[in-house]
A and B are shown apart, each in its own frame.
Chain A
Amino acid sequence: MKTSSPLVQVAVSRCALVIDDSSVERMLATAVLQKLGFAARCAGTAEEALALLKHCSVDLVVCDLALPGMDGLTLLAALRACPAPPPCIVLSAHDDPRHALAAMQAGARAYLVKPLRLADMREAVAAVCPAQQLAPAPEPVDANAISRSARWTAAAVVQPVRSALALLLPAGIRATG
């Protein structure tokens, strides 16, 4: 495994789960995550992902919003009901605040607009699951609201819709540089 940034210099390789029904996009996400030091597993549907998560744990989930069968938002809700939910990064073709807000409210920690770029994912991964934090502490499961810190993290990585989010989120997030 190549180490191209300080982010990935971890002895134990972390595991990420990629959920996307498009095989080319799944391959791209997998390659990008591998570049960032993750061992990546894949699923084409939300159902497949949930079945996979029953018998193996992952450090990060990267999922699409539009999936056949159970959609991405429902999957996010299902993941949050897990005892120790892994952080989720949503990867979507929709470059608008409406979808981003819905994803954040469903529990996503970051929202990236497709096509995926290595730099965006690197930034999101650094914010959502930093390398030094080997065993992520289980977050308190709060079905009604996302924590303020999570929103901040979110605002920092949602580059394309950040300013729009700042207007929409009631907490009043300032657009930070």
Chain B
Amino acid sequence: MDAGRRIPGAMARRILIADDSPVNCIVAQRMLHGLGFSSEMATTGIQALERHRRRPYDLILMDSQMAGTNGFEATTRIRAIQRHGAVPLIACTTASSDEQRNACLRAGMDDVCVKPLKPVQLRNLLLLWLPVHTVEEASRRDALTRAELLSLASLFGAGFEDVVLTFRNDTEARLLTLRQAAAGSDMLQLRKVAHALAGSCASIAGWRMAGLCRVLELKCQAGQRAGLTRLLAEISKAYCSFNLQIDHVLRCQQLSQAAEHSSPTRY
């Protein structure tokens, strides 16, 4: 059970937790350990910067309000030494206000999570922001998605096909709306549709799509137009690969229903 929660390829990743509260650091470290990661801590922004400069990390969880060099400043300086997007920087904030979130994104952070951290939330963040390194890792991640889809399929029973059909119709319409809104720079519409799409994806275990849509929503909210096209392309790509997993699960369900139907014990 515990091994199932581990993220494939976690052992090969280095994560930095930058937070001036040792308690917060230890909590985050424990959670990361549970997911299979080893992590290091930094208690100031300057320390985080130095460590990352010496040996780059795969991902940094950054408290936005540290004493001394705060998270925003450290982010700006990390971004200055590296091309944007090189290391995923995730802001951890206590305030869930829109202004805080916007400030984090504008400072150059990629995503925002609200403290207290929750294992499921952290897990989805890591799956979203740590790119797969190997084919094996990718297929193990797909297997995790299929396992979740299978449990949903058993909840819905024969109705699962209907759910999939509805999901596909809704998603395709929404993806089209997103592209049109992006072309017309309609940030309000983009944000609204991204929010709706994130919700329906999360409902049926499309975590990657849900995460990307959430990032799109955050970006629109912060008024960041840069990288929107790439993000939309990523969402479409995630939809295609999620669809493949859905197909797989649908086939499994049909096969098991057929087997049940033709089972000799029935007669």
Chain A residues near B (Cβ < 8 Å): 22-25, 27-28, 31-32, 35, 93, 95-96, 98, 114-116, 118, 160, 163
Contact = CB atoms under 8 A, between A and B. Distances in A.
A24 B170 CA distance: 8
A163 B162 CA distance: 38
Contacts of B200: 22-25
B249 to A, nearest CB: 15
Contact of A24 (B114, B155, B166, B195): B166
B96 A96 contact: yes
Interface of B: 96, 114, 116, 118, 155-156, 159, 162-163, 166-167, 170, 195-196, 198-200, 202-204
Contacts of B163: 24, 27-28, 31
A32 B203 CA distance: 12
Contact of B170 (A23, A31, A95, A118): A23
Contacts of A118: 155
A162 to B, nearest CB: 11
Nearest to B164: A24
The binding surface of chain A is classed by DSSP as helix
Given A23-B170, A35-B155, A98-B96, A28 B203 contact: yes
Contacts of A27: 156, 159, 162-163, 166
B170 A116 contact: no
B239 to A, nearest CB: 14
The 8 closest A-B pairs by CB, nearest first: A24-B200, A115-B202, A96-B96, A28-B203, A115-B203, A25-B203, A24-B167, A23-B166
A31 B156 contact: yes
A36 to B, nearest CB: 11
B159 A31 contact: yes
A114 B96 contact: no
Nearest to A163: B116
A114 B199 contact: yes
Contacts of A23: 166, 170, 200
Contact of A93 (B114, B167, B195): B195
A161 to B, nearest CB: 10
A97 B114 CA distance: 12
A25 B116 contact: no
Contacts of A160: 118
A28 B152 CA distance: 9
Contacts of A28: 163, 203-204
Nearest to A2: B157
Contacts of B196: 22
